[in-house]
Structure 1
Amino acid sequence: MTQTTVEAPAPPAGRVRLGLSNRLLARPEIGALVAAIIIFIFFLILAPSFRSAESFFTVLYQSSVIGIVAVGVGLLMIGGEFDLSAGVIVYTAGLANSMFCWYFGVNLWVGAFISLALCLLIGFLNGYLVMRTGIPSFLITLGTFFVLQGANLGVTKLVTGTVSSTDVSQIAGYDSLGKVFSSSFKVGSVTIWTSVIWWFLFVALATWALQRTRVGNWIFAVGGNADSARAVGVPVMRTKIGLFMTVSFLGWFVGMHQLYRFNTLQAGGGVGNEFIYIIAAVVGGTLLTGGYGNAIGVAIGAFIFGMTSLGIIYAGWDPNWFKAFLGVMLLLAVLVNLYVKRMSTMRRAGS
């Protein structure tokens, strides 16, 4: 007897299109990607100098300085917390390295590791206090922000007599540290800073961790509902403290870049950058309520910041309008993210 095989009917084309549409809408970075394309085309048309390869890689550099820390801030926001000290800790890192080595006359590598330990300790304390006290991270890290801002100014003035660090270019270890954190190379007429490469690597690592590791599942779980995550065995305290320390580590990294790029730092720097990191994450599709987002979206958000901040200058406009644009962009991003998430939920329910 011959057997006949009956093939299952193919799904209707409409259902396939609906499934693809649902998957696209479920991607946190879709709204940011569309916005980035529109802004890119906008400045290509209105700013002739924006069209050169040199300008494009300058935009990438500007984006990387913000984007590296924004990666950590985005992960922390997915985990349901905020860090308002992320902007000033960049300068705390550089100032600690600079002043320690200048005052004691030691190799800059020693100061770099001491600075790293200090930043990790600050991140640990932020996370520990949030978890132990139950006080919102917004308030804990706001306190840390003021402590670091005051310490940066006070200690720098005490050690150097001014509100800026001393020039470190003549201290041992400067050249080797500069190659790691702030070197550049030429490809034709284009200068590429290694911070751009580091940025790509951190984004790739964060993407892999979120999507392919158990730690990534923990981050989404604690951001979505910490109590439920704890009930199924997720180490909530360890995960959140680790996220705060990740922000501090990336802040230290950018602090090293700033120090070895410019040789000196202003003690009052970094104030306000914490909001730019949050804006990059929100524009990239990260929800303020936690549990949703990805590193690629945060990177696109940082790229939008870089395009806008330099595109306004290339177009010859008054740069004082930049902050107003950031505010509008943040409001639009929140509305678009909310709309996309609702549409995605409705279509999944309808299918």
Structure 2
Amino acid sequence: MSQTLEAPAPAPSEPSNRVRLSFAQRLLGRPEVGALVAAIIIFIFFMVSAPSFRSAESFFTVLYQSSVIGIVAVGVGLLMIGGEFDLSAGVMVYTAGLVTSMFCWYYGVNLWIGAVLSLIFCLALGFLNGYLVMKTGIPSFLITLGTFFVLQGANLGVTKLVTGTVSSSDISNIDGFSSLQAVFSSSFKIGSVTVWGSVLWWVLFVALAAWTLQRARVGNWIFAVGGNPDSARAVGVPVVRTKIGLFMIVSFLAWFVGMHQLFRFNTLQAGGGVGNEFLYIIAAVVGGTLLTGGFGNAIGVAIGAFIFGMTSLGIIYAGWDPNWFKAFLGVMLLLAVLVNLYVKRMATARKVG
């Protein structure tokens, strides 16, 4: 009689173990987990090794540095989840600012007109990139690499033709400057800390992208076209429209950051932006986005951009040689790819189970 009462005793521990295992799998299956752990470790490291990193002013400077990269990285991350790349995004930021600046300076018109024309121009570039990728079947890497070189050459050539130098003219005295500066490059004080508006815009864009991916039908389309375009097309997903739209989102966000740069500094160097396209991709990959598409989220991309901001300024605050920053980026990218593959396997195993 006692044996029959004692025999079932171990049974309750088995569901508990399964619950714990299931929770661990769910946690590890989230794209941003690896980036979050890395961000915490890097944050603690610089808090210990760089005394000037500990101040509130330094933290908000890191947030600002992260936002300038992170705004465009949000769009690039969405595009990568959709299975494509855009190597022209970095140069397009400066193209946007240069179009506004030179058009308004040369013709003497209100800067709002130049900003709208620049937006139309950037959206047209995004549409062209997406259209060529979808209609020709040429990989987006090659299409946007071509766009990158065209924009790089045009930025330098047209700027020198119009202004006689490789930088745009000061636009601070042109009508519309103060109102556009308030929209794209404002800041305010909280005590002794300066908070740039770009940080708030970054948070807004990340929240909108995260909501879209998790709650909106378009989010399902993005994952579908990145995971398997043929299967997505077979179930009625508008693959062409979705991918072209993603390229246009990248170009819109590039335009937005271009406006921020222009109205913060009043002038731009025509050769700027080269290399930033890799920073956007690194932020997305470090944040858990797979290079093969179909996996990732906006929160992870934001954490990846924050890691970039922390590292780029943390090395300076610590008094180290900033040349080591690029080496750190390379190591971080390699580690992120390995972690992302592991996370993807965990997510796949959870779905199968």
TM over 0.5: yes
- Give yes or no for the alignment of 1:114 onto 2:117: yes
- Give yes or no for the alignment of 1:242 onto 2:245: yes
In the alignment, which of 302, 306, 322 is matched to residue 299 of structure 1? 302
Question: Is this contact kept in 2: 1:102–1:168, CA < 8 A?
Answer: yes
Q: Distance in 2 between matches of 1:158 and 1:63?
A: 34
Question: Is this contact kept in 2: 1:22–1:348, CA < 8 A?
Answer: no
Q: Distance in 2 between matches of 1:79 and 1:343?
A: 21
Q: Distance in 2 between matches of 1:347 and 1:177?
A: 49
Q: Which 4+ runs in 1 deviate beyond 4 A? A: none
| Deviation for aligned residue 1:16 | 1.4
In the alignment, which of 57, 62, 76 is matched to residue 59 of structure 1? 62
Q: Distance in 1 between matches of 2:240 and 2:134?
A: 6
Question: Is this contact kept in 1: 2:30–2:347, CA < 8 A?
Answer: no
Q: Distance in 2 between matches of 1:113 and 1:348?
A: 46
- Give yes or no for the alignment of 1:26 onto 2:29: yes
Deviations 1:227-271 (A, max 9, x none): 110011000000000000000000000000000000000000000
Residue-pair matches, total = 342
Q: Distance in 2 between matches of 1:107 and 1:251?
A: 21
- Give yes or no for the alignment of 1:268 onto 2:267: no
> What is the one-letter code of the residue matched to 2:316?
I
Q: Distance in 1 between matches of 2:133 and 2:347?
A: 33
Residue 142 of structure 1 is matched in structure 2 by 145
Q: Distance in 2 between matches of 1:298 and 1:83?
A: 16
| Deviation for aligned residue 1:36 | 0.2
> What is the one-letter code of the residue matched to 2:117?
I
- Give yes or no for the alignment of 1:38 onto 2:41: yes
Identity of aligned residues (%): 85
| Deviation for aligned residue 1:25 | 1.3
Q: Distance in 1 between matches of 2:95 and 2:347?
A: 42
- Give yes or no for the alignment of 1:259 onto 2:259: no
| Deviation for aligned residue 1:322 | 0.6
CA-based RMSD of the aligned residues comes to 1.1
Residues 226 and 348 (structure 1), Cα distance of their counterparts in 2 relative to 1, 3 Å cut:
closer
- Give yes or no for the alignment of 1:99 onto 2:75: no
> What is the one-letter code of the residue matched to 2:112?
W
> What is the one-letter code of the residue matched to 2:66?
S
- Give yes or no for the alignment of 1:127 onto 2:126: no
TM-score w.r.t. the length of structure 2 is 0.95
Residue 336 of structure 1 is matched in structure 2 by 339
Q: Distance in 1 between matches of 2:238 and 2:340?
A: 29
Q: Distance in 2 between matches of 1:336 and 1:21?
A: 15
Residue 192 of structure 2 is matched in structure 1 by 189
| Deviation for aligned residue 1:188 | 0.6
Deviations 1:284-340 (A, max 9, x none): 000000000000000000000000000000000000111111001000000111122
Alignment gaps of 5+ in structure 1 = 1-8
Q: Distance in 1 between matches of 2:129 and 2:351?
A: 38
> What is the one-letter code of the residue matched to 1:98?
S
Describe the SS at the equivalent of 2:323: helix
Question: Is this contact kept in 2: 1:29–1:285, CA < 8 A?
Answer: yes
Q: Distance in 2 between matches of 1:285 and 1:183?
A: 31
Residues 11 and 206 (structure 1), Cα distance of their counterparts in 2 relative to 1, 3 Å cut:
farther
Mapping of 1:79-98 within 5 angstroms? 79-98=82-101
| Deviation for aligned residue 1:10 | 10
TM-score w.r.t. the length of structure 1 is 0.96
Residues 137 and 25 (structure 1), Cα distance of their counterparts in 2 relative to 1, 3 Å cut:
same
Question: Is this contact kept in 1: 2:212–2:219, CA < 8 A?
Answer: yes
- Give yes or no for the alignment of 1:200 onto 2:203: yes
Describe the SS at the equivalent of 1:192: strand
Residue 178 of structure 1 is matched in structure 2 by 181
